[in-house]
Amino acid sequence: MAEFDVDLFVIGAGSGGTRAARIAAGHGARVMIAEEDRIGGTCVVRGCVPKKLFVYASRFAEDFEDAAGFGWTLDSRPTFDWPTLRDAVANEVTRLSGLYRKGLEGAKVAVREERAVIEGPHSVRLVKSGETVTARHILVATGGWPSFDPPIPGGELGISSNEVFHLPTLPRRMLVVGGGYIALEFASLFARLGVAVTLLHRGDNILRGFDEDIRTRLRDALAHAGVTLRLGCTIERIEELADGTRRAHCAQGAPIEADVVLVATGRRPNTRGLGLDKAGVVRGPLGEIVVDAASTSNVPSIHAVGDVTNRVNLTPVAIREGHAFADSTFGSRSWTVDHATVASAVFTTPEVGTVGLSEGQAVDAGHEVKVFESGFRPMKATISGRHERTYMKLVVDAANDRVLGVHILGHDAGEIVQAVAIAITMGATKADFDRTVALHPSAAEELVTMRSPRAG
Ligand code: NDP
């Protein structure tokens, strides 16, 4: 008789949990995974994937307009049908969730579609079936959940990004609260789908933590795209009018009326009611599971990966953490994830792509920096006539010529930055960029043709 029912019990079948389960099973571990929602987790079901499909839909609006400058005539004015998009995206999510399940089953992972809670360092209870499973290792990969903290009166009249994918009709007016990834992506895409969007943010500028030059240029681009920006405004309460309209009252300025209020004020680790206290697992101020570099908590048999640890809250990071945990615990190779140089994108239009340190972060870290930048009108806009600019910035360490950060605002910024992140991870210097021959004509060639640092 084995000492435990399984070698690994994974709670949460999102990106991190699924990867860990499959890799561990591949190393010969007996693995069970429990998911109380849909298999695939936030990214697949209510995050990155459906959002990116919405972004694609939104960009057709400008493509139709731009086509005219290139000689195309559309016989009638293009119209947009929300249910077609919403349902097509929902079907794709269902297909992907099915693939995730197949992948788990193919790897011989036992799948339980119900909530699981921790009973002790080696024990998990499946809530619906009442089954108790003992495990040599428990991995918590329960992700995060939208939060509006502190709550405000009428806060429940808003929706979160969980619900935005299922709106019965396309609203005429939308109020988006927040100035981070989710708020900006949805403000940008709904504005292009024809919704009158107001973005309400408590800070003086959007995207706190990003490079200042990117923040300001994106702010201006969103305003130019028709998003009404109410910055430096704190929302105080939301009320519902007789016709269903939401009226949001702010500490500064007039109230704002909208059909939908999308609240995107951050996410919190999903640890409530999981039984972590019962097992003695230490949590941080936001409820996150505190783990070491090997993703192990203070209880040696309990581990955690992904957003529930509140390290770098991005899908590919969770996947890598899950993979490293499974290899290190059940395979022959022990490794940890380097969280230092993780590229990310904000899928607004224009898009933001960023890797490494912002200019401000580099200076704060004590580097003497040289900044190279380029702002230009993209080639396509010369004929389409669209008012748009691409911006690229390199933050270089003056002491050793190393490129510390690359920041791009413009078409395909995410795609470009993913490739350039390889060079940054390898420790590329500005001289390496300079000796790279340009690919012409492209926007990305600007990265290797900037010669003079910004004065001052
Ligand atoms: P973010 O942490 O990015 O942004 C939260 C925003 O809400 C900030 O602008 C913050 O303001 C504001 N805020 C926080 N609390 C309040 C409050 N009580 N009242 C008013 N405003 C408030 O969170 P998101 O929800 O946008 O995204 C969550 C996470 O999901 C991100 O951290 C990111 O890692 C991930 N994500 C990644 C995406 C991508 O890679 N493209 C896309 C979507 C999500 P302030 O700046 O002042 O704190």
Q: What is the pLDDT of residues 419-437, one digit of tens each?
A: 999 999 999 999 999 999 9
Contact 171, 196 (CB under 8 A): no
- Residue closest by Cα to atom 2 of ligand 1: 266
User: How many angstroms is it from 45 CA to the middle of ligand 1?
Assistant: 19
Sign, Cα dihedral of 225, 229, 235, 239: negative
Q: How far is the CA of 91 from the centre of ligand 1 (A)?
A: 27
- 6-145+268-330 and 155-265: identical CATH topology: yes
Testing ligand 1's pocket by substitution, the residue of 181, 199, 270 carrying the most ligand atoms inside 8 A of its CB is 181
Q: How far apart are CA 85 and CA 101, in angstroms?
A: 24
CATH architecture of residue range(s) 6-145+268-330: 3-Layer(bba) Sandwich (3.50)
The answer on pLDDT for 1 being more than 80 is no
Mapped onto helix, strand or coil, the DSSP state of residue 275 is coil
Query: Which of 182, 199, 250 is the pocket-test mutation for ligand 1 (most atoms within 8 Å of CB)?
Result: 182
Phi-psi region of 17 (alpha: psi -120 to 50; beta: other; left: phi over 0): alpha
Report domain extents, the chain. Answer: 6-145+268-330, 155-265, 344-448
DSSP designation for 254: -
d(CA 212, CA 200): 19
| Annotation says 27 is catalytic | no
Residue with tokens 């010969």: 28
DSSP-derived letter for residue 447 is G
Residue with CA closest to ligand 1 atom 46: 208
Q: Given this model, what pLDDT does residue 384 score?
A: 94
Specify the amino acid at residue 424. Answer: I
Residue 287 pLDDT grade (very low, low, confident, very high; cuts 50, 70, 90): very high
Pocket test for ligand 1, best of 188, 199, 200, 202 (most atoms within 8 A of CB): 202
* CA 177 – ligand 1 centroid, Å: 10
pLDDT at 90 over 70: yes
DSSP state of 358: -
Using the atom order of ligand 1, give the atom closest to the CA of residue 203.
47
- Does the domain at 155-265 match CATH 3.50.50.60? Answer given as yes
**If you measure from the C-alpha of residue 263 to the centroid of ligand 1, how many angstroms do you get, rounded to a whole number?**
10
Question: Which among 27, 224, 387, 440 is annotated as catalytic?
Answer: 440
For residue 355, give Cα distances in angstroms to 43, 93, 174, 258, 437.
Answer: 21, 29, 31, 36, 21
The partner residues of 145 in beta bridges, in order of sequence, read 268
Residue that is written with structure tokens 């209510």 in the block: 46
The pairs formed by 317-322 with CB atoms below 8 angstroms and a separation of 24 or more are: 317/342, 318/14, 318/15, 318/16, 318/19, 318/141, 318/143, 319/15, 319/16, 319/19, 321/16, 321/295, 322/15, 322/16, 322/17, 322/18, 322/19, 322/20, 322/21, 322/23, 322/139, 322/141
The DSSP symbol for 13 reads -
Tokens coding 7: 């070698």
Give ligand 1 pocket residues (Cβ under 6 A): 149, 178-183, 185, 201-203, 208, 264-267, 313-314, 344-347
pTM for the full predicted model:
0.97
In tens, the pLDDT along 191-216 reads 999 999 999 999 999 999 999 999 99
- Name the residue at shortest CA distance from atom 16 of ligand 1: 265
Residue pair 31/116 in contact (Cβ under 8 Å)? The answer is no
What percent of the chain is modeled with pLDDT above 70?
100
Contact 261, 232 (CB under 8 A): no
Q: What is the mean pLDDT of residues 315-331?
A: 98
Q: How far apart are CA 215 and CA 121, in angstroms?
A: 45
Q: pLDDT digit string (tens) for 337-394?
A: 999 899 999 999 999 999 999 999 999 999 999 999 999 999 999 999 999 999 999 9
Find the radius of gyration of the CA atoms of the chain.
24
Residue where the block lists tokens 């996410």: 267
Q: How far apart are CA 354 and CA 416, in angstroms?
A: 9
Ligand 1 mean position, distance from CA 409 (Å): 19
* DSSP code of residue 398: T
Q: What does the pLDDT look like over 102-148, one tens digit per residue?
A: 999 999 999 999 999 999 999 999 999 999 999 999 999 999 999 99
- The per-residue DSSP string of 165-178 comes to TT-SS--SEEEEE-
Å from CA of 265 to ligand 1 middle: 5
pLDDT bucket at 2, cuts 50 / 70 / 90: confident
The pick from 161, 177, 267, 270 for probing ligand 1's pocket by mutation, whose C-beta has the most ligand atoms within 8 angstroms, reads: 267
pLDDT band of 171, cuts 50, 70, 90 = very high
% helix, strand, coil for the chain, step of 5: 35, 25, 40
Alpha-carbon distance of 84 to 365, in angstroms, equals 49
269-274: average pLDDT: 97
Nearest-atom number in ligand 1 for the CA of 152 is 18
Minimum CA distance residue for ligand 1 atom 41 = 346
Amino acid at 200: L
Residue nearest (by alpha carbon) to ligand 1 atom 33: 313
In a 13 Å sphere around the CA of 46, the CA atoms on its Cβ side amount to 17
Domain 344-448 fold is: Enolase-like; domain 1 (3.30.390)
Average pLDDT for the chain: 97
Q: What is the pLDDT of residues 44-63, one digit of tens each?
A: 999 999 999 999 999 999 99
* In contact, 26 and 16? CB cutoff 8 Å: no
Residue 314 Cα, ligand 1 centroid: separation in angstroms? 12
Kindly indicate the confidence band of residue 289, based on its pLDDT and cuts at 50, 70 and 90.
Answer: very high
Q: Are strands 196-201 and 228-231 parallel, antiparallel or unpaired?
A: parallel
